[in-house]
Structure 1
Amino acid sequence: MTVNLPGTEEAAEPTALPPSPPDVLPNIETEQIARSSYSIISRPSVGTTGKRIPLLVNLFKVAADATDATFFQYSVTITSEDKRAVESKGIGRKLIDRLHQTYSSELGGKSFAYDGARTLYTVGPLPHNKFEFKLLLEQSFAKCLEAYTSHANSQDALRVLDVVLRQQAANRGCLLVRQSFFHDDSRNFIDVGGGVTGVRGFHSSFRLTQGGLSLNMDVSTTMIVKPGPVIDFLLSNQNVKEPRYIDWAKAKRMLKNLRIRASHRNQEFKIFGLSEKPCIQQLFSMKLKNGEDNDGEQTVDVTVYEYFSEHRGIELISSAYLPCLDVGKPNRPIFFPLELCSLVPLQRYTKALSPVQRTSLVEKSRQKPHERIKILTNAIGNSCYDDDAVLAACGISVNKQFTPVEGRVLETPKLKVGKNEDCFPNNGRWNFNKKTLLRPSDIDYWAVVNFSARCDTSYLTRELIKCGMSKGINIERPYSLIEEEALMRKSNPVARVEKMFDLLSSKLTKEPDLILCVLPERKNCDIYGPWKKKCLSEVGVVTQCISPLKITDQYLTNVLLKINSKLGGINSLLALEHSGHLPLIKDTPTMILGMDVSHGSPGQSDIPSIAAVVGSRCWPLISRYRASVRTQSPKVEMIDALFKPLDNGNDDGIIRELLLDFYSSSNGSKPTQIILFRDGVGESQFNQVLNMELNQIIKAYEHLEEVDVPKFTVIVAQKNHHTKLFQANAQENVPPGTVVDTKIVHPRNYDFYMCTHAGMIGTSRPVHYHVLLDEIGFSPDGLQNLINSLCYVNQRSTNATSIVAPICYAHHAAAQMGQFLNFDDLSEASLTPDSEGNVPIPELPRLHKNVKTSMFFC
């Protein structure tokens, strides 16, 4: 095989380490920007309020001595001997290793950082601009390396260093999931049932902070299919005891693209599908020699069973009457009996976990702060990063100690509840024992429907009425209590819901205030979506679904908090909010937006994404919200329906709805300030939030013929990161209200970490807040205290939430309305591309006018 390395004429200027702050402002197409573009603001100053607290952070200081180190980047392509491109994953690392071993002297003894795909880096240039090598691998692949050198900025330098970490993990045989690495070590396995195993590993990445270059290391978990015999996996995955009960259509979907090792070949193969017939009937063509002299060949059809029995001497015991695995290619099947095949280790399981599996994973993988510190200390000590040739060439060494940093614990906000009483949360928690709700909603005319055969609804309603009385809610006896007919329990969910509504309609004399719905299962109940759609979209009635395992006063109180919020009541308010003294908000009409997009699970690439935006109402309150939800293209993160002009000139977008509702609910006040909280976007998308989504909001405002555009404060909240805060002198989680805005934050941009909730299980994860824009002009203390306070206004909770309530509400609204559509049916029928290749996106049913302004998502 031949390896060519054509180079460029001149090398770029060198880039020194440690690198300068990264540029997190990606370019954006000019036609997407309606107005002058916004730039991400720099940090104005740091906060000062709160009690000081010494903390440790899982960032490890990195020293870089080789300040003149220059990374050179090479583009990699793989071709076979006949010059055809080779896309096979896994061959790249093997070939580059062989290249380095075989031609080390010709390559100047350089060590490589290779990403396993199309990019290779060296520290300093290779000795010549063009090479031609010949290599021989087991599969006889050839490779061409088309190389170019380029100037690397600081973000590129970080990318190279992260490639080094991945390469080192790959050399140790780890499973790589972005910047997390997982060993095939049974001590790290967590069996969650269903043939699925959690495997603990480590996240490891380089970060630039105010304190310089650091290595971020954290415990990470991913899901894998349980290695071993394929048949054992299928039995466990489908929760059946014998192969004859296996759903083979489901098995085919589950097994596709998984890798197996065949005992009779001692090789690995990828599963393409299943045979149409069982092993003892499945025919394939094979060539046999003719006669004793072997002077010819004839092609005969034999069964897979016959082939293994007569030609391989393998007597099949358990899989003769089962389908075979097809490990071939389209139109070229290769059939293996199931009993000869085992799933190889460390294969990712990308389907959504069931509620039982998720609960098991949480219970078995939780780690207290002191346990996590011990695990990470051992991991960084055994990392061998200082021995890596590429890192050594850069003069990089990693300190083995956690980074100390000073945090501040903000003051806990005081709440107002019923009878003008004050409520003082303790450790981020409070309750309504011997307290009443601030503004209770009476329930005069309501009904109960029961889909569960095990729930005593008479006892349930008596206890609910009694609990409501103690919380200040006057609840009359239900006008109607309907039990589902036993014969209906085997019908499909939509039919069950329709039948229940027929029975309900025949009993009720007017529209009820509330329908309490008792479901047969707590999680993922297939009745939930059709029921919510019927109530909220078609009928327009407030509903509360429950599935109590045990009816307790605390459970009923939690249910009543949700019901009261949905009916327009208020459970509690911030004391400052109640008295009308919220800084920067009390005198200026201010709207708060929470924005989130939820996507289908990794295995559902054709499922539409759900975009949800909640907006505050009833200014000067910041605890009342309504939601607007839309579908959009699968896996698209930017919300495209904030402003949606129609052919008739009207705007059918999300923001128009929320602006008009703010106006009608706030005594005719128009928002002159908008605080926007955006969830779920990474640094590379910050510019799009500012210059695509924010411009849509401005367009929607201007479409209402408003001239004075509001002032905006735009904040991104991130939970999907690996920075953890630990108390330096204690084994417990950091206290609620802990904030850090120095040393470990971005060297230039305006960001901070805040942990607002009481971590009762495992190790708390702070939210990483990024302030992209602040036209309103909050001080750092003012903004941090507002965010801390917004974690105490979630009406469905008596705990401070880990993230601000508007984002919680947006997440709940997207999840609830997403179940209005049966995506399982849609993915097979209406989501097929049209003649131009466009996939139609089904629209969500709109909320009924009776409930569209309610907090139905509570």
Structure 2
Amino acid sequence: MASSSRSKVEVEGSIPQSMTSRAPTYHLMTRPAFGAQGRRIRLFANHFDVKFTMPDTVFYQYSVTITPHDARDKNAAQSKVYGRKIVNRLYEIYGKELKNKRFVYDGERSLITIGPLPHKNFEFTVVLEDSSARATAGRAGDGSAVGGDQKRSKLSGFVKTFIVGIKFVAMFPMKSIALALGGSEREDGHTALRVLDIILKRQQAERGCLLLKNCYFDGNHTRIFDVGGGVSGCRGFHSSFRTTNGSLSLNIDTSTTLIMKPGPVVEFLLANQNLEDPRRIDWEKAKRMLKNMKIKAVHNQREYKITGISKLPCDVQTFSLKERNGEGETRTVEMTVYNFFKDMRKITLTRSASLPCLDVGKPERPSYLPIELCHLVSLQRYTKELSSQQGALLAEMGRQKPGERMRLIADSLNDNRYENDPMLNACGVSIDKRMTKLTGRVLNCPLLKVGNMEDCIPRNGRWNFVQKTLLQPCELLHDEWAIVNFSSRCDLSHLSRELTKCARNKGSNFEEPSVLLEEDREWMRSGPMVRVEKMFKKMEAKFAGPPRFILCVLPEKKTCDIYGPWKRKSLYQFGIVTQCIVPPKNIRDQYLTNVLLKINSKLGGINSLLSVECKRSIPLINQTPTMILAMDVSHGPPGSSFPSVAAVVGSRHWPLISRYRASVRIQSPKLEMIDSLYKPGENGDEGMLRDLLLDFYKTNGGMKPAQMIIFRDGVSESQFMEVLNVELNQIIKVFEHLGDTTMPKFTVIVAQKKHHTRFFLADSPENVPPGTVVDTTVVHPRNYDFYMCAHEGNPGTSRPIHYNVLLDEIGFPPDDLQKLVHALSYVYQRSTSAVSMVAPVCYAHLAATQLSQCFDLSDTSGGELPIRAGVPQLPELHEKVRSSMFFC
């Protein structure tokens, strides 16, 4: 058993070359008990009880392969939209051969029936009459796109032929769901649930909805709102079947996604690039934006998919056209796209003569359409990165108050009329239209200690420093810091006076800085890296050595292009703690206090502590050296191949649980599992965790952690076992490498934010109170999990964090673990309110995001960062800031 008296970490000296790894195989733990503490409240959850009256129903799964008769129809055979059309057409033609057996098809490879088909293998020929322009692309004489292969369209005759193979794969009974409700982990229970989800998806697909996993969007104009830049927010709904504690439920929630604003393509590009003149459009950017988007040609009402943009404008771009003379002889002539539509189609192009054409053909046979005849069709996802203004508007418009959200959810259930779905009826599934009633508990807010060990009592998850001081304030002498200004509208003298005044009122000895630097106006047109370099050179002339702290005033929010180079220069090259701000026009005390909280934390001060930290009374932690880890991975923008950034933060100065240090690495794109917690190298273990463990050792008088509480963010249920058997085993190897013969006890908790369970007060339209915890009724029937709303959810609806306890070797009683998780939402040093997720996870996310902005991760040439195994490598942070809370 681990204890505080075990052998110390060997910081120096020989490291064992080979050791027998413990590397056990873990399994998800089951729920040991339910929590009992807290004030009980009546709640509704957006889960609807599901009954199934035919438990003997058996699902049969068949694989579907669609092979085009013509190889050039390969893309159509792989399309979900075409797949559904093909299979629906198959049923119309061959329904009798299939005994008119009803089925659901997922649009890809799986077809599900209730009961078996007559045979295990089928092969059918399906001829699909296609009115879309993909079948006619290249036919010059039909008034559609021009160019390409005319012979192709004449032979096609507007039809496509496919060979459809159906082959039996497996069978699984409906009763497997009942076994799952009893705690069984049989795979066929999960499969049966997926089948029920596919049935719901099929209904939405037939309605023409945009489907995203288990979310659907019908494009109703009342649910669409503009967010600028040619982008719209679209409100829709999520629905999925869930096994819960004792019952099967249907989880329904509102959802929001981004779509491209339908309408003229030119208007979209002008809005997207913030232009007024089409002649100034960046066509390379437009090409990336429009690729694979669907458009409708207004002159023939046919739909096309954009494959590219012509290099030449419409009145110069030519294509080959075959024409016959009066004697029946044919000849090939070159004609511009503009003249074709003017002379042959009698369409005068007024806007796009000098603009490029849209290519809707293939690389070997392009087909062109004038851009002014093209409109983007509705319900097409927008997956590019949003500006800060767009993101703020999306968040504002996408949220609903609890009462409104409940109404929208109820409307969705009524509108879909699941009781009339023939497949649900065939398998005996009925859905209650009333939300699930349950009992929640409200935990008391933890007591905080501020300056002079004064008590600070949060109210509704919030507190303030009015007439209070910081617990451990830092000190800044006038020659230790500077303020630099990249924004011409900020009065630095006023800012300096107000900030130092606020700091003194909060107990900090801040002297006004000796250096106030304004950016020279002629630098403003230079690139961000040049501007930062010039500012640092200007500052070097004022200081004998690097200052201890710099307050940097940016011209706009942190997304501005100066932020990354500034942080890189200060953190990596000079080792200077910096705080970037964009002050409002009227600087108030609350704003300055929030800035001061971040500065104090970065410089090593402490704003507040939990009372239980000060009293050393945290159950199971204060008696045994305990380290808290939090791990997160930040991925690049959607659709990009940017490397991912992994961050781990570790607690220091046990028994405190409020101070942390970070370690950050870059890894392969979209890789969710952290692959460098342990990393053998030329100098021994070069992984992320080693430095955090040595820091814990140094800040705790040579004691190693005998217990580790590990929080993991951002993983789905399907990855829980990887967290235990990949990431946790890496952690074990780190201890072995450091010469540890006895492992600490581990408690591993996954924190999930991306889920669709919401709670509503049964007797009030307001949000559930901060501290609400739910561990009954809608939780997993077997695994150890609970939901917690630690924060105040206004102005929208509170989103609880779903905590999944994968392993608990420490042995926390449920009440103690829930109180610890609740308390960890109050140690976030950047604010005076409880955060929704435990603070160390928030810190890990901040560290990953901040350092990813310091470098151009899209540059994989090795120009900015060294490349190893195809992945950029971050340099070491400067030793002066390595152990600071620079991310705070």
Amino acid at match of 1:561: L
Shift of 1:828: 7.4
Shift of 1:38: 0.8
Amino acid at match of 2:817: L
Residues 456-495 of structure 1 deviation map (CA, whole Å, 9 limit, x = unaligned) = 1110000001000110011112121110011111111111
1:372 aligns with 2:405: yes
Amino acid at match of 1:841: V
Amino acid at match of 2:875: P
Answer yes or no: is the 8 Å Cα contact 2:296–2:375 preserved in 1.
yes
CA distance in 1, matches of 2:818, 2:791: 14
1:599 aligns with 2:631: no
1:69 aligns with 2:57: yes
CA distance in 1, matches of 2:846, 2:434: 40
Shift of 1:299: 1.3
Amino acid at match of 1:124: G
Residues 229-266 of structure 1 deviation map (CA, whole Å, 9 limit, x = unaligned) = 00010111111112122111211111111110112232
Q: Percent identity?
A: 57
Equivalent runs, 1:724-803 vs 2, <5 Å: 724-803=758-837
Residues 796-833 of structure 1 deviation map (CA, whole Å, 9 limit, x = unaligned) = 11010000001000000000001121134x05776999
Q: Which sections of structure 2, spanning at least 5 residues, go unmatched?
A: 1-19, 130-158, 173-187
Shift of 1:363: 1.9
Change (3 A) 1:556 1:82: closer
Q: What is the root-mean-square deviation in Å for CA atoms of aligned residues? A: 1.7
Shift of 1:578: 1.2
The equivalent of 1:703 in structure 2 is 737
Which of residues 628, 636, 645 in structure 2 aligns to 1:610?
A: 645
CA distance in 2, matches of 1:151, 1:136: 30
When structure 1 is superposed on structure 2, of 576-585 and 720-729 the one drifting more is: 576-585
Answer yes or no: is the 8 Å Cα contact 1:820–1:845 preserved in 2.
no
When structure 1 is superposed on structure 2, of 549-558 and 785-794 the one drifting more is: 549-558
The equivalent of 1:553 in structure 2 is 589
Which of residues 553, 563, 566 in structure 1 aligns to 2:602?
A: 566
1:312 aligns with 2:345: yes
Answer yes or no: is the 8 Å Cα contact 1:598–1:610 preserved in 2.
yes
Answer yes or no: is the 8 Å Cα contact 2:866–2:873 preserved in 1.
no
Equivalent runs, 1:629-644 vs 2, <5 Å: 629-644=664-679
The DSSP-based 3-state class of the residue aligned with 2:531 is: helix
Which of residues 80, 96, 100 in structure 1 aligns to 2:68?
A: 80
Which of residues 33, 48, 51 in structure 1 aligns to 2:36?
A: 48
Amino acid at match of 1:387: N
When structure 1 is superposed on structure 2, of 473-482 and 129-138 the one drifting more is: 129-138
When structure 1 is superposed on structure 2, of 722-731 and 105-114 the one drifting more is: 105-114
Equivalent runs, 1:387-406 vs 2, <5 Å: 387-406=420-439
Change (3 A) 1:723 1:384: same
CA distance in 1, matches of 2:678, 2:169: 44
Shift of 1:391: 1.1
CA distance in 1, matches of 2:425, 2:494: 71
The equivalent of 1:850 in structure 2 is 880
Answer yes or no: is the 8 Å Cα contact 2:205–2:211 preserved in 1.
yes
Answer yes or no: is the 8 Å Cα contact 1:437–1:570 preserved in 2.
yes
Equivalent runs, 1:331-730 vs 2, <5 Å: 331-444=364-477, 445-550=480-585, 551-604=587-640, 606-648=641-683, 650-730=684-764
The DSSP-based 3-state class of the residue aligned with 2:541 is: helix
Shift of 1:144: 1.9
CA distance in 1, matches of 2:854, 2:509: 32
Change (3 A) 1:346 1:740: same
Residues 393-422 of structure 1 deviation map (CA, whole Å, 9 limit, x = unaligned) = 110010000000100001110000001100
The equivalent of 2:166 in structure 1 is 146
Answer yes or no: is the 8 Å Cα contact 2:123–2:166 preserved in 1.
no
1:164 aligns with 2:199: yes
Answer yes or no: is the 8 Å Cα contact 1:415–1:574 preserved in 2.
yes
1:185 aligns with 2:220: yes
Change (3 A) 1:341 1:462: same
Amino acid at match of 2:598: K
Answer yes or no: is the 8 Å Cα contact 1:33–1:692 preserved in 2.
no
Shift of 1:840: 1.3
Amino acid at match of 2:160: S
Residues 135-188 of structure 1 deviation map (CA, whole Å, 9 limit, x = unaligned) = 321132223223114133100001111111111100000000110000121111
The DSSP-based 3-state class of the residue aligned with 1:715 is: strand
The DSSP-based 3-state class of the residue aligned with 2:685 is: coil
Shift of 1:498: 0.7
CA distance in 1, matches of 2:844, 2:645: 10
Residues 507-546 of structure 1 deviation map (CA, whole Å, 9 limit, x = unaligned) = 1123322111111001411010110011111100111111
CA distance in 2, matches of 1:57, 1:165: 20
Shift of 1:282: 1.0
Answer yes or no: is the 8 Å Cα contact 1:715–1:770 preserved in 2.
yes
Shift of 1:105: 2.7
Residues 426-478 of structure 1 deviation map (CA, whole Å, 9 limit, x = unaligned) = 00000001000000001112111111111111100000010001100111121
Shift of 1:327: 0.8
1:135 aligns with 2:155: no
CA distance in 2, matches of 1:642, 1:252: 40
Amino acid at match of 2:615: S
The DSSP-based 3-state class of the residue aligned with 1:136 is: strand
CA distance in 2, matches of 1:141, 1:580: 75
CA distance in 1, matches of 2:101, 2:218: 28
CA distance in 1, matches of 2:543, 2:289: 47
CA distance in 2, matches of 1:473, 1:510: 24
Q: Which sections of structure 1, spanning at least 5 residues, go unmatched?
A: 1-31
**TM-score, normalised to structure 1's length?**
0.94
Shift of 1:767: 0.4
CA distance in 1, matches of 2:408, 2:321: 55
CA distance in 2, matches of 1:718, 1:150: 32
Which of residues 86, 103, 116 in structure 2 aligns to 1:112?
A: 103
The equivalent of 2:23 in structure 1 is 35
CA distance in 1, matches of 2:807, 2:815: 16
The equivalent of 2:8 in structure 1 is none
Aligned residues: 819
Amino acid at match of 1:42: T
The equivalent of 1:21 in structure 2 is none
Shift of 1:204: 0.6
Answer yes or no: is the 8 Å Cα contact 2:121–2:165 preserved in 1.
no
The DSSP-based 3-state class of the residue aligned with 2:235 is: strand
CA distance in 1, matches of 2:395, 2:94: 49
Residues 747-801 of structure 1 deviation map (CA, whole Å, 9 limit, x = unaligned) = 0000011110001111011000000000001000000000000000000110100
The DSSP-based 3-state class of the residue aligned with 2:524 is: helix
The DSSP-based 3-state class of the residue aligned with 1:499 is: helix
The DSSP-based 3-state class of the residue aligned with 2:126 is: coil
Change (3 A) 1:401 1:828: farther
Answer yes or no: is the 8 Å Cα contact 2:121–2:168 preserved in 1.
no
CA distance in 1, matches of 2:801, 2:370: 50
CA distance in 1, matches of 2:285, 2:865: 21
Answer yes or no: is the 8 Å Cα contact 1:355–1:523 preserved in 2.
no
CA distance in 2, matches of 1:283, 1:504: 59
CA distance in 2, matches of 1:80, 1:247: 38
Residues 687-708 of structure 1 deviation map (CA, whole Å, 9 limit, x = unaligned) = 0000000010010111111111
When structure 1 is superposed on structure 2, of 595-604 and 633-642 the one drifting more is: 595-604
Answer yes or no: is the 8 Å Cα contact 1:592–1:616 preserved in 2.
yes
Residues 656-694 of structure 1 deviation map (CA, whole Å, 9 limit, x = unaligned) = 010000011112111000000000000110000000000
